[in-house]
Structure 1
Amino acid sequence: MNEVLNSGAFTFGSLLVSAVALVVGLALWFFVNRSSSRINEQIALLEALLEQQKRQNALLRRLCEANEPEKSAGETAAKKTPQDEDIIRLIAER
């Protein structure tokens, strides 16, 4: 009689541990999947933002070049210094 009760308790305990492990596993999968999808959305938004900033920088660069006063070739060659050649014209990205 003792063997019947012990074997029944063992299978019930094993079933209970398996059910708890399944619930914990599903909860863990839910939160990992949810955070992964949010991260993917953030990456997509950051890539779109970067593309817009590149377009804005290109437009700003063209606008600055269009508004520069025109200089003759002689003036630009005479006014250039070695320091000017080292400076790269950049518009800082945010």
Structure 2
Amino acid sequence: MSDLLNSGVLNLASLAMSVLLLVVGLVLWFFVNRASSRANEQIELLEALLDQQKRQTVLLRRLCEANEPEKEEPAVQANVKPQDDDMIRLVAER
């Protein structure tokens, strides 16, 4: 009689342990899956942000090029000699 009781308790303990491991595994899977999906969302947001920054950079370059003053003729600039080359600037000591 005691053999039947002991084997029943071992079977019940084995079943309880299996159910407990299954529940712990499902909880761990839930949190890992949740973290993975949040990471994927953050990656998508960062990629969208990068795309917008690239567009802004292109627009800023176009804007800077449009507002850039026109260059004068190089022949006129070659004939003009800057005065800074002729003069040495000295700072008076105190």
TM-score tier (shorter): 0.7 to 0.9
Structure whose alpha-carbon radius of gyration is higher: 2
User: Which residue matches 1:45?
Assistant: 45
Cα root mean square deviation, aligned: 1.6
**Greater relative contact order (Cα < 8 A, sep 6+):** 1
Q: Which runs of 5+ in 2 are unaligned?
A: 79-94
The alignment partner of 1:69 has SS state of coil
Residues 1-94 of structure 1 aligned to structure 2 (within 5 Å): 1-74=1-74
> In structure 1, how many angstroms separate the alpha carbons of the residues matched to 2:30 and 2:2?
42
Deviations 1:51-74 (A, max 9, x none): 000000000011001101010351
Identity in percent = 68
Moved beyond 4 Å, runs of 4+: none
> In structure 1, how many angstroms separate the alpha carbons of the residues matched to 2:47 and 2:73?
41
